[in-house]
Amino acid sequence: MRVATWNVNSVKQRLPRLLPWLDQRRPDVVCLQETKLADDLIEDLLGAELDKRGYQAAYHGEARWNGVALFSRVGLDDVVTGLPGGPGFPHQEARAVSATCGGVRVHSVYVPNGREPGSEHYAYKLEWLAALRAQVAAGPDAVMVCGDMNIAPADADVFDPDAYVGQTHVTEPERAALDELQSAGLHDVVRDRWPSERVFTYWDYRAGMFHKDLGMRIDLVLAGAPVAERVAAAWVDRHARKGTGPSDHAPVIVDLDDAPDGDIGPVVPPPSAAAPRRGSVRLPQSK
Q: What is the pLDDT of residue 286?
A: 54
pTM over 0.95: yes
Q: Is there a contact between 141 and 197 (Cβ–Cβ < 8 Å)?
A: no
Where does the pLDDT of residue 287 fall: very low under 50, low under 70, confident under 90, or very high at 90 and above? very low
Backbone φ and ψ for 232, nearest 5 degrees, come out as -100, -25
- The pLDDT of 14-43, averaged and rounded, is 98
| Chain segment 63-101, per-residue pLDDT in tens | 989 999 999 999 999 999 999 999 999 999 999 999 999
Q: What is the mean pLDDT of the chain?
A: 96
Provide the residue type at 175 as one letter.
Answer: R
| Chain segment 185-204, per-residue pLDDT in tens | 999 999 999 999 999 999 99
Mutual orientation of helices 120-137 and 172-182 as an angle, nearest 10°?
10
